Copies of this chain bind each other. A is one copy, B any other.
């Protein structure tokens, strides 16, 4: 059992009260990912990866995810105007991260790994962590937090395997081969490969516009096509992320 929410409090207390446990906190978004996939990959993938990592350790627990994320941007998530893309504002995300990290630290935890699954969240999570650490200092609590986005652990070798015809870049991977392969492996019931749209990767000018220019985004909502996604790629990506993150945890938290 790695999900801490599934434990009773006394079991949980035994594991965390001495500060040696590592709490993994998945952070995602509810956001469209094309006509072929559900709207929760940014939650489900970091949650599954967190659980995969936790299983490799004795004292790593997975917290309930923070599921609603920052506003989808055109060039990374298709934009905040798609039906189903359901986002919270920057200050709300900052405060949520702050409050949740503080709460887990007050149980005795001192080691955290925040596992981000939605690009747009990153800087607000950074600020939430900063505010949490500052607030904890009032009570003389000093915690250490690792922040990561799971895709940063995909190695160059894996990229070459998954994109044999050349990698079109992380920036257009929204709803593409990477996320779709992972979902095929983790939650095949939430993917319908027959609905994948085949289209060229999106290209964008070197700036953003507000309000969003909806014509910049492929009608599918995906920024590159998931046509070549496979369950095997998904497994490969999953394993490489888990290994990389586990190594990072060992480096920092011994």
Contact = CB atoms under 8 A, between A and B. Distances in A.
A82 B9 CA distance: 8
A5 B187 CA distance: 13
Given A148-B207, A206-B248, A83 B124 contact: no
Contact of A83 (B12, B86, B134, B190): B12
A236 interface: no
A10, A87, A126, A147: most-surrounded residue (chain B CB, <10 A): A10
A47 interface: no
A89 B99 contact: yes
Interface stretch (A27-35, A51-59, A162-170, A227-235): A27-35
Given A123-B90, A124-B90, A8 B209 contact: no
Number of this chain's copies in the assembly equals 6
Given A32-B9, A137-B139, A145 B209 contact: yes
Given A85-B9, A124-B123, A146 B17 contact: no
Given A100-B88, A207-B146, A211-B133, A9 B126 contact: no
Interface residues of A, number: 89
A6 B40 contact: yes
A225 B232 CA distance: 42
Given A147-B207, A209-B252, A8 B30 contact: no
Interface string A161-201: 00000000000000000000000000000101001000000
